[in-house]
């Protein structure tokens, strides 16, 4: 085991503020790098210290193409962080490549018929326990195969529902179950209370 894994403290090389074990600092740097890059981006338009401030041209002389209001996406509007347009004939899904907690998920998805969607890079969705990034990978499968997989899942759910209605789910000898004379009924969709009755 190296010294850093034994708990010796190190400091983040980007902000020189965060201190922790090597693993903790690596996890911190996922967000710190973004902050540093943002800070650098903001500072590039600033005049060097000691220089007179830049004068902005009068607004009357500025011309700017305004975005089409129908196509413009307002800042701060609700949006899905993991979204992608649909593709005809395919069903898409994001899979986390979280090798630490669930190794082999991407490989397992490929074995099930999923392929990586072209033109989309994996997106960082957070750190795992070691501080390395968990990445979401956009994958797709032909809709026909997806529907077949869902039918298999539904058969299992139907068997469980049947056992619930019969009062036999996870039944053990002598567990003293009570089954009403009218039986147990499972409904799907809106209930009477959902309809506002």
**Which band of pLDDT confidence, cut at 50, 70 and 90, is reported for residue 148?**
very high
Listed in sequence order, the DSSP H helices in the chain are: 22-43, 105-111, 143-166
Q: d(Cα 18, Cα 14) in Å, to the nearest integer?
A: 9
pLDDT value, residue 52: 59
pLDDT value, residue 182: 75
12 Cα distance to chain centroid: 26
93-137 pLDDT tens trace: 999 987 677 778 889 999 999 999 999 999 998 888 888 888 999
18-48 pLDDT tens trace: 888 888 877 777 777 656 666 666 666 665 5
Domain ranges across the chain:
1-42, 89-184
Backbone angles phi, psi at 26, to 5 degrees: -60, -45
- The answer to pTM > 0.75 is no
Query: Lowest-confidence range among 41-55, 155-169, 180-194?
Result: 41-55
**Which band of pLDDT confidence, cut at 50, 70 and 90, is reported for residue 53?**
low
């Amino acid at each position: 085991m190296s010294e850093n894994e034994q708990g010796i403290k190190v400091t983040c090389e980007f902000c020189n503020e965060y201190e922790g074990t090597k693993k903790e600092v690596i996890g911190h740097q996922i967000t710190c790098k973004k902050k540093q890059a943002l800070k650098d981006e903001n500072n590039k338009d600033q005049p060097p210290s000691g220089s007179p401030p830049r004068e902005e041209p009068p607004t009357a002389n500025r011309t700017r193409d305004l975005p089409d209001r129908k196509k413009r996406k307002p800042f701060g509007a609700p949006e899905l962080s993991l979204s992608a347009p649909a593709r005809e004939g395919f069903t898409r899904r994001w899979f986390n490549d979280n090798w630490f907690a669930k190794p082999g998920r991407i490989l397992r998805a490929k074995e099930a018929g999923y392929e990586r969607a072209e033109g989309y890079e994996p997106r960082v969705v957070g750190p795992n326990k070691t501080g390395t990034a968990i990445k979401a990978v956009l994958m797709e499968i032909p809709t026909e195969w997806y529907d077949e997989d869902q039918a298999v899942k539904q058969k299992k759910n139907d068997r469980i529902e049947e056992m619930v209605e019969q009062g036999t789910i996870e039944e053990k000898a002598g567990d003293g179950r009570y089954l009403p004379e009218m039986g147990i009924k499972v409904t799907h969709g809106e209930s009477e209370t959902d309809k506002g009755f």
